[in-house]
Structure 1
């Protein structure tokens, strides 16, 4: 079952500023920008009922004299099918958007720029110390407000650097999400992706920001917050559907981004998502793989190249509907990852999710860095039943994968490199 919000959720006060063009001036440093000390936030002045825009205000003139209505965008979770984690090592990957879960962001015109905290994920009022403790254990310290603020900053800077004029209208941004936390399904970047789409449409600059650049903007927003990740997740969420990605160094150096090729989602066989309802005991040991790669470790370098090659072979296997080859590649992808990172880093719970699937003959691997597993049953419905029964006995959730459609509009397509 998807993550369910708390039944007791006092409403946090909205975060308010005068305009996107001056909100950086309100702070002295990054720590203040993202402190989120509600209700004593350092970034913005606050008002409990300030600037709420109802449905009846749709299509009214905003303070910039621009007629706009409510804008809402949805971005899906992401599954890394093959090649991860080589995206941060100049490799290749195949990923798809997972329509089982999503994040949505709503933008409403308003007099001031307002970022509305989520009543659950940005909770700052509690029934007791015990309630606070449980909330932090399950949800962590950070909600989505900092993500929305970060993409506003990165978007504004990109437009300024590229001489893209923005009108002076303001807005209220709010978000919601049902993507389970700590499952490696890219919940944070989904919020950022949906928020970026809202900004592109509000300022009517979608045609001026290339599709290939948008994953970089999302990643840069997350880097503002110290989130370490690669481009794979953001590409899948910007494009939607099934995408082959080539991050080889020559492309990254010359273009500043990879080569991204959408594929037909109908080419994939039925897949299944396995995840733990409480993944808190997943791997917590810091990985040394990145540093070893930088230091020239031959095993890591050769293994990462092999992982990247699986995406190239997987692209051919999918196009040919060679599903036995796909199953072989999925298993080998995880096995190589396990040898590189080690069991202490991957975590016993994550490994058990993979092993549960393999014990019934299904192919399985992580969807990302851990927390959820993607599985394929090459022997069909009878094997699926065995997998479902094994997952239930092990206490894991399992559901059929719904692959999200392409998110690209006709305007987006015109911005893409040929």
Structure 2
């Protein structure tokens, strides 16, 4: 923990891959996710006389060459930079501390951010910025020991909800904990504790995995919309299908522990197939479906990393199959790369805050 009140604090949070069980985290289900070392967001906090949220020179552009430039930028990138994310977590953090009688000193700071997580790829770029910012605030105010690790994903999610972002806890849990983690969002747990049961797993259980993503993806934000409402309305097909998705994470945990890669491959494909049945092709988008199917055409297994824009791939036949898939991706224009898993960065101080199981 930083103790020098004048020290510059900088933290990274890493992209997240939903491996199995997503999107059942929003439906009291189970998931397995891991943090991805290939991409990250970083936030820097510098003590200052005035509290300042600094815009990113590329992602928070406010100066344009012309009116058409402005309009084209909005059409491709939308209105959403990172400044709003930093402001939201500051508010949520402040209110949480006030409600829980956590005293904050009166120092001010400048917050700035950077990110190399590709936009709209289902790799949790927004929550990574918020997660990194929360880590900076914990250290600046020296309250890391007072805010439980289990609670931090909720703070991140609440900051995003402030901005109308529809999401679940899975991404934020993965980014707070880091590494490979199994999550159980059982309704009784959520109702009683306000969070799920999160269990870290050995990274060495994972076989080599790959990432396919679109360089210019379409917006995947519509993916949850109709399914969520149908679930709330008690649609039996959605409820039973989502339970099957949650069970995939439970079975997948056993398959990974037992090194049953054939079973693991089957579960990856089944996860996507169930999602496709629930959401429909129009909601998922032709480009997203093609990323899954290009892998399947060479005998690999694949599924979305999140809500679309990228897929995680397992090649049961090894590197030769991966090379073949890479060639096929290049023909279409998809990016392809091996996944690098980022181990947990939780400190001993963090671990002390965790509830004993």
TM range (shorter): over 0.9
| Distance of 1:285 and 1:185 partners within structure 2 | 15
Return the alpha-carbon distance in structure 2 between the equivalents of residues 298 and 175 of structure 1.
44
Deviates more, 1:272-281 or 1:207-216: 272-281
Q: Which of residues 97, 108, 113 in structure 2 aligns to 1:175?
A: 113
Corresponding residue to 1:193 among 126, 131, 143: 131
Q: Find out whether 1:220 has 2:158 as its counterpart.
A: yes
Cα shift at 1:68: 3.0
Deviation, structure 1 residue 285: 7.1
Deviations 1:78-102 (A, max 9, x none): 1000000000000000000011110
Q: Is 1:413 equivalent to 2:351 in the alignment?
A: yes
Separation in structure 2 between the aligned mates of residue 349 and residue 298 of structure 1, nearest angstrom: 29
Structure 1: segments with no counterpart, 5+ residues: 1-58
Partner of 2:73: 135
Match of 2:64 in 1: 126
Shift of 1:142: 1.3
Displacement of 1:379 in angstroms is: 0.7
Aligned partner of 1:395 among 319, 330, 333: 333
Q: 1:102 and 2:40 equivalent?
A: yes
**Does the Cα contact within 8 Å between 2:223 and 2:307 map onto a contact in 1?**
no
Structure 1 segment 34-113 matched on structure 2, within 5 A: 67-113=5-51
Greater relative contact order structure (CA < 8 Å, 6+ sep): 2
Instruction: Give the 5 Å matches for 1:306-317.
Output: 306-317=244-255
Return structure 1 stretches of 4+ with deviation > 6 angstroms.
Answer: none
Task: Give the aligned partner of residue 200 of structure 2.
Answer: 262
* Counterparts in 2 of 1:218 and 1:338: CA distance versus 1, 3 Å: same
TM-score by length of structure 1 reads: 0.83
What is the CA–CA distance in structure 1 between the aligned matches of 2:245 and 2:80, rounded to whole Å?
A: 33
Radius of gyration: which is bigger? 1
From 54, 60, 64, the equivalent of 1:116 is 54
SS at match of 2:225: coil
Aligned partner of 2:187 in structure 1 is 249
Query: Which of 374, 377, 383 is the equivalent residue of 2:312?
Result: 374
1:408 and 1:176 map into 2 onto residues whose CA distance is 21
Secondary structure of the corresponding residue to residue 41 of structure 2:
strand
Aligned residues: 355
Structure 2 gaps of 5+ residues are none
1:224-246, Cα deviation, whole Å (9 max, x unpaired): 00000000000000011000000
Distance in 1 (CA, whole Å) between partners of 2:86 and 2:297 is 42
**Aligned with 1:347 (options 258, 265, 285):** 285
Instruction: Determine the C-alpha separation between the residues in 2 that align with 1:119 and 1:216.
Output: 29
Three-state SS of the structure 2 residue aligned to 1:133 is helix
Q: Distance in 2 between matches of 1:385 and 1:115?
A: 44
Q: Displacement, 1:395? A: 1.1
Alignment match, 2:225: 287
Give the distance between the partners of 1:230 and 1:295, measured in 2 at CA: 19
The question of whether the paired residues in 1 share the 8 Å contact of 2:305 and 2:312 is answered with yes
Taking the aligned partners of 1:68 and 1:409, their CA distance within structure 2 comes to 22
Task: Check whether the contact 1:84–1:368 (CA below 8 A) recurs between aligned residues.
Answer: yes
Please show how residues 354-365 of structure 1 align to structure 2 within 5 Å.
354-365=292-303
| Equivalent of residue 203 in structure 1, options 141, 155, 178 | 141
Listed one character per residue, the Cα deviations across residues 373-400 of structure 1 (whole Å, up to 9, x for unaligned) are: 0000001111111111111111100000
Within 2, Cα distance between the matches of 1:286 and 1:251?
A: 23
Separation of aligned partners in 2, 1:219 and 1:207: 20
Q: CA RMSD for the aligned pairs?
A: 1.5
Q: Cα distance, 1:148 vs. partner?
A: 0.2
Q: Distance in 1 between matches of 2:97 and 2:321?
A: 52
> How many angstroms does 1:158 deviate by?
0.3
Equivalent residues of 2:220, 2:307 under 8 A apart: no
Shift of 1:221: 0.2
Separation of aligned partners in 2, 1:125 and 1:383: 46
Q: Say which SS state the counterpart of residue 227 (structure 1) adopts.
A: coil
What residue in structure 2 maps to residue 278 of structure 1?
216
- TM-score, with structure 2 as normaliser: 0.97
Sort the Cα spacing of 1:285 and 1:194 in 2 relative to 1 into closer, same or farther, 3 A.
Answer: closer
Q: Which moved more, 1:326-335 or 1:273-282?
A: 273-282
Show the counterpart of 1:144. Answer: 82
